[in-house]
Amino acid sequence: RRMKARAPPPPNQPSPASRIPSECKSPAETAVISDQNLVSMKENMINRSVDFTVILPSGVEQKSTVQGSKAVMDLLVDLCSQYRLNPSQHSLELKSSGTQQPLSYKPNTLIGALDVQTVLLKEKVPEEKTKRPLPRVPEKSVRLVVNYLKTQKAVVRVSPEVPLRSIIPAICEKCEVSQEHIVLLRDGITGEELELTKSLEELGIKELYAWDRKREPSRKASVSNDAIEKEKARLLGLFKADRRSSK
């Protein structure tokens, strides 16, 4: 009589902990697994090589590849060194591969953590310093004595370097004379008419006569009357001087 063969041993039984379904795991265990997956994903992103296009300030495009573990600031320094540019005068603008929108980042952000397709190497626009206005140089001026209406005098402060026609408005305002009727004379004796294109400095005078053609009958009569008045004043001055010396 033949003997029956032995039955095969039972398969290995899973441990009690492994038989617990995932939905029955505690939240703490699930969080640990999620954190581990996230760390693994980050490590993969950082350790990978990142290919992108560099657009130089001149508009020239270059292909480049770097490790994802490189910080953005280090990338700026490397690119500037490669293309002989000053890092302090340039900045990086990173654009994503999908939307081509500028990405926000910090200097120590790792390239691998960003979805970078294009890197714009841009020259910084220097901020214009507020220029202080130059101190205003006071305009040179002199006291001009203006004789008018035979016996009247007025003092006007004007520039000695501008043409006479430029100071006529100030003379007319002071002497209440119309610009249409005024004629500037060297003095009230000779009646020499002054050239309006020349300045007081060129003419070498600080006194003149303003003849009003409307209010005074004629230049000759005005000049002769003014000469008489000046001659009277001169004679009076001589008379007073003689009296003082006789005393």
Place of tokens 């400095």: 201
Question: From the CB of residue 85, how many other CB atoms can be counted at a distance below 10 Å?
Answer: 16
C-alpha–C-alpha distance, residues 71 and 116, integer Å = 13
Residue 195 pLDDT: 92
For 9, what's the count of Cα atoms within 13 Å in the CB-facing half-sphere? 3
Residue 171 pLDDT: 92
Residue 199 pLDDT: 93
Instruction: From 156, 158, 155, 154, select the one nearest 141 (Cα to Cα).
Output: 158
pLDDT tens-digit profile of 6-62?
666 666 555 554 555 545 555 555 544 555 655 565 666 667 788 888 989 888 888
Residue 221 pLDDT: 46
Radius of gyration for the alpha carbons in the chain, expressed in angstroms and rounded: 50
pLDDT higher than 90, residue 227:
no
State the average pLDDT for the chain: 78
Position 228: which residue type?
I
Residue 58 pLDDT: 87
Q: Is the dihedral of CA 228, 234, 238, 240 positive or negative?
A: positive
Residue 202 pLDDT: 93
Residue 51 pLDDT: 87
pLDDT tens-digit profile of 94-130?
888 777 778 888 888 888 888 888 888 988 877 655 5
Entry pTM: 0.38
Q: Which domains does the chain have, with CATH numbers?
A: 42-123 (3.10.20.90), 142-212 (3.10.20.90)
